[in-house]
A and B are shown apart, each in its own frame.
Chain A
Amino acid sequence: MISCKHVTKTYRGTTALNRLSCNIHENTITGLIGRNAAGKTTLLKILTGMIKESSGEVEVFSKHPFNNLFVSANSILVDDQMSFANSISLYELLQQAGRFYKNWDMDLALRLFDYFSFQPNAIHEGLSKGRKSTFNMIIGLASRCPLTIFDEPTTGMDAVVRNDFYRALLKDYIAHPRTIIISSHHLDEMEHLLEHVLVIKKGKELLHIPMEDLKEYAIGLEGKTAVLKEWLGDQPVLTKRTASDYAYIAVKNDFDTEQLEQVKQQGVKVSPVSANDVCMYLTKGQKGGIDDVFRQR
């Protein structure tokens, strides 16, 4: 469905994507997780043919997406940069969108439009940020594109609308399975929807695994610093918080049950690490944590 091989994108000297490779399968919901400026938006724009990769190979529906009419007709990128002509009302925008997208479901669009109580005569430019996001989301859902991409879709939405959005997305996905990518920097509010997670950092892919695996990716160990140190050796640590001789450490879960039993015997508490935390630990900068900033004093 989507395959990227060593994709690099540079803008005037800054590298947004750095030899990124990934494969996204058909009819899955994939979460694209990364911090600001990790290259999420760049990747999505390359996939929908808005911009062109500097090097590497990109294929969407076995075609090179840039400037490709077929890819454009079968994909949609919903983000807060969507610009609609301001002399045209919201209702007319829905009608026009219907002209362009063959799979467009006007019935769904109108029911969502009504549910979120939009004024048919309103102008897109006059909407608040959250309302814009909601309207864009309606376009994204109703267009029923085989590749539907949401880039930070919930910006500005309130909690209720956010929930409604994820619920609507899921229901429509179940009824009409398609390939969906949602990018966000917070995973927790949508992790139940996702089948796969693609974590990127500084333009490179870090992880691309099923969501359920991500939940078991790491474990947290809590106990005496000395015991933990001895037991872990020089195994890389995801995060570490210490208070005198007591520490909490998160590490990649490469242990079998027996090893975990052993460490429990030594008075170490073993706890799972949530997917959101895993992503946070994985994508944080190399300069240590925020703790290190304060340690200097």
Chain B
Amino acid sequence: MMSFVNVSLKETVWNQYCFKLKSFYGMFRSIIILQVIAIGFTSLAGVASTGSGSMTISFNVQYYSADAVIAFTMIGLFINGIQMTTKPFREDDFVFVTNRLSQNLSNMAFLLTVSVATGITALLSRNVIEMIRYFLPEHSYMQDMDGPNTWYMVVGGGIATILYIAACSALGYLVGSLVQLYKGLVIIIPAVVIGYSVILGTQEGYIMGKIWAFYFSEHHLGLFAVKLICTIAICYGAAILLLNQKEVRNV
């Protein structure tokens, strides 16, 4: 007689999480590739150049920052969030011990890990950009307009960056889950988003503006963290509820 084994949810989630770190290694890589591309763009072209000044002076500033790297990472994680809900990724878990809850929780843990790791590399890539500029032949002397970052800023900014990235992956995961349940959304969601940003984006869409302000104009780090953590929790919570009755390998 083979003895029955009892496994706890925690243990299963941990096993799945470890498995994912190994098996979804490619996801890390695709994000890193995006970051390398963003670093390349940034180093060669700069993020933006603006001019402003006062009566006596006018600036022509060509900016370099890891903004593009962070933005690419956010979009990349959003797409990876969607990918995690697709059939091949979903079925990988069901080869071994799992239920829907443990699967979702381990996916969540995995995406958070990717967010933390890629958030840190995104912020550090600032130094790579600086280095590339420094060693370029016609190297222009980099100015640090705002003065050097304090450790306090680095840690706070790092947390904010990671939260932004994690929120994007959570949103992607929710969108992916919705698409898994209602296939029609695969056309409707992009159509609505693109349509909305094309039509209203030009004239400062009202809702978009509100959403934008809600996250990007929050200047208090604590409140910001609360907002983002709530957003992430809502996205994953909804996804877990949505996917809890989803069948696998069905056909």
Which residues of A come within 8 Å of B, CB atoms?
11, 26-27, 45, 49-52, 61, 67-70, 72-74, 81-85, 87-88, 92, 96-97, 99-103, 139, 144-146, 176-178
Contact = CB atoms under 8 A, between A and B. Distances in A.
Chain B residues touching A, range: 35 or more
17 contacts: A11-B251, A50-B250, A51-B247, A52-B247, A69-B102, A70-B7, A72-B99, A73-B5, A82-B95, A83-B92, A84-B23, A88-B23, A101-B5, A102-B7, A103-B5, A144-B2, A178-B2
Interface string B225-251: 000000000000000000011011111
B96 interface: yes
Given A73-B5, A85-B24, A146-B3, 13 more contacts: A11-B251, A27-B2, A45-B249, A52-B247, A67-B244, A72-B98, A82-B95, A83-B95, A87-B25, A100-B12, A103-B5, A145-B2, A178-B1
B1 A96 contact: no
A13 to B, nearest CB: 13
A281 to B, nearest CB: 30
The 10 closest A-B pairs by CB, nearest first: A85-B23, A100-B96, A102-B5, A178-B2, A51-B247, A146-B2, A73-B7, A100-B97, A88-B23, A73-B97
A84 B25 contact: no
Chain A interface, >50% SS class:
loop
Interface string B9-51: 1001001001100111110000000000000000000000000
A61 B15 CA distance: 23
Contact of A84 (B1, B18, B95): B95
Contacts of B244: 67
Contacts of A61: 4
Contacts of A97: 96
B249 A87 contact: no
B97 A101 contact: yes
Contacts of B251: 11
B249 A96 contact: no
B1 A177 contact: yes
A73 to B, nearest CB: 4
A69 B7 CA distance: 7
| Most chain B C-beta atoms within 10 Å of own C-beta, residue among A81, A100, A101 | A100
B212 interface: no
B88 interface: yes
A69 B245 contact: no
Given A51-B247, A101-B97, A74 B22 contact: no
B6 interface: yes
Contacts of A103: 2-3, 5
A34 B249 CA distance: 20
Given A68-B99, A69-B102, A99-B15, A26 B250 contact: no
B214 interface: no
Contacts of A69: 7, 9, 12, 97-99, 102
A88 B15 contact: no
